[in-house]
Structure 1
Amino acid sequence: MKGSFIFLIVAARPIFALWPIPRSLQAGDNLVKLSPDFQIQYAMPRPPQDLLDAVSRTIARLRSDKLQRLVVGRGESDSQRLPNAPSLTSLSLSLATTAGPVQSIMQEATKEITTRSEEYSLSVPNGGVATVVANSTLGLFRGLTTFEQLWYDDSTGVTYTYQAPVTIVNDSPAYPYRGFMLDTARNFFPVADIKRTLDAMSMVKMSQFHWHAVDSQSFPLSIPGFPQLAQKGAYSAQEIYSDSDIQDIVNYAGARGIDVLMARCFKNFSVSLPVLKQFV
């Protein structure tokens, strides 16, 4: 009986599909739908390209994901109220301070870990214009990720949130180092798989990709000036990361708010770390 009582308490709590949960979160119980002409605007001069790309990905996912609420009926009861729900017309991204040049997400994400600014504030009102305000493009990107997690589709294809108004103030990570380690020395992963992993990391605001790239089992990195390391050390000629592959992964991660840490894995291999540093 006691266990059943606890279960009922947990089940009755609101379900927020936000991960991680923001430090400060206030939400209502109103329906707000995205306008068919919804757009994301910038209150800043010359937004960096990786921020523009992040916005394009967010808009594409809002239009194509078709995620429904994880409840009985998939939120079908909401459909009856949606025709009369107010619409959110746009999201405005702005920096709290514009002192100095605006840096890219990658530049912000690869700074010394104790100096990175990921803080943001998000407001989603009962219709009209939502806002994300941050001190850096990295903070704007984190706020954009949270905004994206608020929305669902009903059976007719209307994109909406059922918890407006939403107010998040000064959300920031509890731990600056939020890492994931992938060992491609013992288990080779194609570049496309690594990118898919980075996408998943970005969606939950992880900040460090710990790439265990080489070890005694295999050496899959093609290092300029040392071609035989990969030729003789990789599992096969098809399981090698070229220098362009490595740079591609580093750039892909940085544009998603993730810094790449490449491990030195050989105790007696003195050339590995200095050479690998050119990629990170």
Structure 2
Amino acid sequence: MDLNELFSSIETTMLARFKESGFINHSGDKGENREEFLMDFLKNHLPKRYGVTKGEIITKDGSRSHAVDIIIYDAVNCPVLYAGKTSILPIEGVYGIIEVKSSLSKAEFDDAAGKITSFKKLAPRDLGVIATREYATVHRASRPFGIVFGFQLSGNSLDSLKDNWMAHSHAVHDVNFFCNLVCVLGKGLLRYESVNLTKGEKNLLLDTDEFVNLILTAHKRLQNSEEQDEVLLRIVKEGAEDRTFGRFFTYLLIMLTRMKLNVPDLGRYIDPELPISVVRE
């Protein structure tokens, strides 16, 4: 059995558990069980430096996120401020979120995408300070990601879902706040791609920083009347079917390994006038 076959088997098992959960009548319990299918896998298979939980995310000015289905956070440096049935975490320690939908209709996609946009608007762009024995340096944390994950479609297709995502992106307008990936088990994925028509190259456009930097560079060159390559940004549909989950997990790992967060400075949550904490390495 190769890796593709392994992930195909995992996907089959996950979809079987999803169908079994349909026997539960209470919609809240049913939804929680389906979120836990994915959460359990991520807890057991992501590197241990990544924590996985559900709950709320808080900023140092007291703003709170919605109740997030799955939060992926820095398990080494991020304190969990509350650890009941749901957790509360400081936003500086959060890599990103996954919104899980049992049936991904247009309305459910719009709901999930809107929650991701609202979450991303909470993310600070503060500098962190890292000190070693020789020098001190400043670091700006990676922008967080947001993923929509569905167990099945509902009265739509990946093509119509692609149109929904394009419409949402146009409405949001700012690439800082776009979704990063859409996944539907047994069907496939949607993701952004950059196509350099001048060089004849195309590249995955998964993480938020890369997307933002691409747009900012193009705007800067336009303002300076500099010559630039012709680049097309587009949403790509991957009809991966029973190999969808393997690609989802791979793309998630790609995003996570490219990111670097600041260590949450809880002193400034308690008193904004306290000096910035310096992380020593």
- Tell me, yes or no, whether TM beats 0.5: no
* TM-score, normalisation: structure 1: 0.23
- Higher helix share goes to which structure? 2
State the structure with more CA Rg.
1
* TM-score, normalisation: structure 2: 0.23
